[in-house]
Amino acid sequence: MTFRDRELCFDTPKVMGILNVTPDSFSDGGQFSAFDKAIQQAENMVNAGAAFIDVGGESTRPGAEPVSLQEELDRVIPIIEKISKNLDVIVSVDTSKADVMTQAVQHGAGLINDVRALRADGALNAAIQAALNFKVPSCLMHMQGAPKTMQKQASYQNVVEDVLAFFKQRLFDCAQAGLSTEQILIDPGFGFGKTLDHNYQLLKRLHAFEQLGVPILVGMSRKSMIGNLLDRDVNQRLAGNIATATIAALAGVAIIRVHDVEETMDAVKIANKLQSVE
Q: Which residues bind ligand PT1 (CB under 6 A)?
A: 60-62, 94, 113, 115, 139, 141, 187, 189-192, 217, 219, 223-224, 257
Residue 175: how many other CB atoms lie within 10 Å: 14
Q: Are 166 and 116 in contact (CB under 8 A)?
A: no
Residues with a known catalytic role: 223, 257
How far, in Å, CA of 278 to CA of 273, rounded? 10
- Collapsing DSSP states into helix, strand and coil, what is residue 203? helix
Q: How far is the CB of 176 from ligand PT1 (least distance, A)?
A: 23
What does each C-alpha distance from 157 to 33, 56, 154, 160, 161 come to in angstroms?
48, 32, 11, 9, 8
Strand blocks (E) in the chain: 2-3, 6-7, 14-20, 52-56, 90-94, 111-114, 138-141, 184-187, 217-219, 255-258
Contacts of 170 (CB under 8 A, 6+ apart): 117, 118, 140
Cβ closest to ligand PT1, residue 113 vs residue 244:
113
Cβ closest to ligand PT1, residue 73 vs residue 256:
256
Cα pseudo-dihedral 47, 49, 52, 57, rounded to 10: -60
Q: Amino acid identity of 180?
A: S
Per the DSSP assignment, residues forming a β-bridge with 52 are 16, 90
How far, in Å, CA of 266 to CA of 90, rounded? 20
- Collapsing DSSP states into helix, strand and coil, what is residue 132? helix
